[in-house]
Structure 1
Amino acid sequence: MKIIIDSSTLISLAKVNMIEILEKINGEILCPEEVYNECVEEGIAKGHPDAIIIKRLFNKNEISIKKIERLKKFKGLSGVDSRVLSLAIQEKAGYLFVNDTKLARRAEFEGFDVRGSPDILLRMQNKEIINREEYTYLIKELHKKNRLSTKNMKKYLER
Structure 2
Amino acid sequence: MPSNDLKSSVILVEYSDTFDEQLSNYHLPEEQLQFTSMPLDKIKNPQVSNSAKHVLILENSVPVGYFALEDGEKLLKYTNNPEARLLTAFSIDSKYQGKGLAKNGLQLLPDFVRNNLLGTNEVVLGVNKRNTPAYHLYLQTGFVDENEFYEGPKGPQHILHLTV
Q: Which has the higher helix share?
A: 1
User: TM-score w.r.t. structure 2 length?
Assistant: 0.31
Greater RCO between the two (CA within 8 Å, min separation 6)?
A: 1
Higher strand share: 2
TM-score when scaled to structure 1?
0.31
